[in-house]
């Protein structure tokens, strides 16, 4: 790892021999909290799918636009961000509390390195609150139980699943996980998803096959139809499920003219 923090000194046990997706993303985003195995896997993906660098940055930009929209236009003040990843620019709490300081955010991730950086994610405004849960997306009961200590589930909540559902194989029924999370929040809540696309370019499928030969957990890209099904029963906000850079792009963002293998959308629970 290239950061100044010592995991052993923090009492954190890490498997550094195999890449972990959160640390691979960190490398792609220019971060320093990654190990040799993460960097090797990240470079291998770049070699087969060069647009991955543009794609992960588009995902961060999409997060910022989606959170800003939910706070300023939809009136959301509570966020459950699962699959947080390592802190980067414009984290959910920063975007939300910049517009509405009273916003409350619960982050969830299961990477020990993310846990080390939880103090960064807990830098809340005085009016709001942030919390961190060390858990896997598949442990929905544990997530909801602990999130309820910070979030009021009688009021609308935005469930953020950016770059995490592709870490859940079909055998673990990711759609059922989404359904359970949505069942816990009231009408007027939102679901935000960003997910790698399997039907835009074959390069991403090749890169994922290569990654899965060495990664600590397999990843799965999905088609537009498969990603859209996660929003079943919800009212999709315009422009629907689209490539991330095409979801409410704003003036000032660098234009992306080519296709990106990454879908995103925002849906409202009626």
Whether 44 has a pLDDT exceeding 80, the answer reads: yes
Q: If you average pLDDT over residues 198-213, what whole number do you get? A: 89
| Arithmetic mean of pLDDT over the chain | 88
Domain ranges of the chain: 58-198+219-268
Which DSSP helix (H) or strand (E) runs through 174?
Answer: helix 174-183
pLDDT greater than 60 at residue 214: yes
Q: Quote the pTM value.
A: 0.88
Residue 7: pLDDT band with limits 50, 70, 90: very low
> What is the pLDDT averaged over residues 73-86?
94
Is the pLDDT reported for residue 18 higher than 60? yes
Q: How far apart are CA 100 and CA 112, in angstroms?
A: 30
Bridge partner residues of 179 (DSSP): none
CB 67 within 8 A of CB 108: no
Give the dihedral of Cα atoms 242, 247, 253, 257; nearest 10 deg: 30
Q: Dump pLDDT digits (tens) for 215-234.
A: 778 899 999 999 999 999 99
How far is it, in rounded angstroms, from Cα 139 to Cα 121?
Answer: 21
Q: Tell whether the model's pLDDT for residue 253 goes beyond 70.
A: no
Reported as a single tens digit per residue, the pLDDT across 87-111 is 777 899 999 999 999 999 999 998 7
Report whether 64 contacts 37 (CB < 8 A): no
Q: CATH number of 58-198+219-268: 3.50.50.60, 1.10.630.10, 1.10.260.30, 3.40.50.150?
A: 3.40.50.150
Return the closest-CA partner of residue 215 out of 44, 18, 22: 18
Distance CA(186)–CA(208), nearest Å, equals 36
């Amino acid at each position: 790892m290239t950061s100044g923090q010592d995991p052993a000194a923090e009492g954190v046990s890490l498997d550094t021999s195999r890449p972990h997706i959160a640390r691979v993303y960190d490398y792609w985003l220019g971060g320093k909290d990654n190990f040799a195995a993460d960097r090797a896997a990240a470079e291998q993906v770049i070699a087969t799918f060069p647009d991955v660098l543009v794609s992960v940055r588009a995902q961060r930009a999409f997060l910022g636009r989606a959170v800003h929209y939910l706070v300023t236009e939809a009136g959301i003040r509570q966020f459950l961000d699962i699959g947080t990843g390592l802190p980067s620019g414009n984290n959910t709490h920063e975007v939300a509390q910049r517009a509405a300081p009273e916003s409350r955010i619960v982050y969830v991730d299961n990477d020990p390195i993310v846990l080390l950086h939880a103090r960064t994610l807990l830098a809340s405004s005085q009016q709001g609150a942030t919390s961190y849960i060390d858990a896997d997306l598949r442990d929905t009961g544990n997530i909801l139980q602990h999130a309820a200590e910070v979030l009021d589930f009688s009021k609308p909540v935005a469930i953020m699943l950016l770059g995490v559902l592709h870490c859940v194989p079909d055998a673990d029924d990711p759609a059922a996980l989404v359904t359970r999370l949505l069942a816990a929040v009231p009408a007027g809540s939102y679901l935000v998803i960003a997910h790698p696309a399997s039907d835009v370019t074959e390069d991403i499928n090749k890169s994922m096959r290569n990654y899965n030969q060495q990664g600590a957990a397999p990843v799965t890209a999905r088609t537009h139809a498969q990603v859209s099904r996660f929003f079943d029963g919800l009212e999709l906000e315009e422009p629907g499920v689209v490539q991330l850079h095409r979801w409410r792009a704003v003036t000032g963002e660098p234009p992306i003219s080519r296709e990106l293998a990454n879908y995103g959308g925002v849906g409202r629970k009626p």
